[in-house]
Chains A and B, each alone.
Chain A
Amino acid sequence: MSDTTISQGWFTSLANPTRFLALSGRLLPYLATAAVLSLLIGLFMSFAAPEDYQQGITVRIMFIHVPAAWLAMMCYSVMAIASIGTLVWRHPLADVAAKTALPIGAAFTFLSLLTGSLWGRPMWGTWWVWDARLTSVFVLFLMYLGLMALHKAMDDPARAARPAAVLTLVGFINIPIIKFSVDWWNTLHQPASVIRLDGPTIHPSMLYPLLVMALAYTLIFFTLHLMAMRNEILRRRVQTMRRQAAQAIGGGA
């Protein structure tokens, strides 16, 4: 047996919903514990970090605003990868992953917009401006809501899977636009200060709390996503069993 066959066999067995439920059930307690611990450490570091010489205490909003914005984009990237899985391999678990990431991504995008607004008011003197960064993130939020509406509009998840996957991949064009909007256009929002070719420009006393909070948010995302995926598998299982029961009654009549 070649290495490719072994890895394909392992991947296929993982993609089996029943196997996925068993594996994710074992993994979840560890993931949730790691998420809570990193969040507690991150929060402690965020409030132990020095205040900014210009922004004062409001710089602490950065420790929750930036991870929320990163996760808003990462969640959409996870959905885009899952959508490729739906379109190429037509695997239902890929659609389950894409669909269940939607409300979580919407929540992180909402938080990045809200905390950004609450940071902008004292620092910029305004809650909101229609600059390229803020507008493109707002468009991302609308895309999350639109995709959620698309799934709600169709009773059969199998029918919603392909159009949602196509729409998700088309919408992925917005992710590089969000990332580079601060370089391509003249924005009120500041340019990147962590993920830069020449390295971060933030002092380590603020960079480390930010990175720990980003890790915590990432672990929170994967914990919630695994939980939501398990729920969706059960929802589809219930739907199938109800259909089978109805067919049995119809066949017996």
Chain B
Amino acid sequence: MMSHEAFVFLSYGASAVTLAGLLAAILLDGRARRRELAELEAQGVRRRSKPAGGAS
């Protein structure tokens, strides 16, 4: 049987790992999407709705 401290430690540890993992996944996803957009724009692909010379 684990000590009560171990149950508390595991609960806080698992919460920290899960939330940090979620944050990391969202940050990596954002970085990948911005890279894709930059690549497309470098290839000269433009959004139809984007105003000429305007930042999106």
Contact = CB atoms under 8 A, between A and B. Distances in A.
Contact of B8 (A58, A107, A111, A244): A58
Nearest to A248: B45
Nearest to B47: A241
Contacts of B12: 60, 64
Interface in B13-27: 14-15, 18-19, 22-23, 25-27
B33 A231 contact: yes
Nearest to A236: B33
Residue among B7, B27, B43 with the highest chain A CB neighbour number at 10 A: B7
B23 A224 contact: yes
A238 interface: yes
Contacts of A104: 22
Interface in B22-47: 22-23, 25-27, 29-30, 33-34, 36-37, 40, 43, 45-47
Contacts of B48: 244
Nearest to B19: A220
Contacts of A241: 37, 40, 45-47
B26 A61 contact: no
Could you tell me the dominant secondary structure of chain B's interface residues? helix
B8 A238 contact: no
Interface in A233-251: 234-235, 237-238, 240-242, 244-245
Contact of A64 (B2, B11, B34): B11
A48 to B, nearest CB: 14
Nearest to A120: B7
B7 A238 contact: no
B52 interface: no
A119 B7 CA distance: 7
12 contacts: A58-B4, A61-B11, A64-B15, A118-B11, A121-B7, A122-B7, A231-B29, A234-B34, A234-B36, A241-B37, A241-B46, A242-B40
Interface of A: 18, 21, 56-58, 60-61, 64-65, 68, 103-104, 107, 110-111, 114-115, 118-119, 121-122, 220, 224, 227-228, 230-231, 234-235, 237-238, 240-242, 244-245
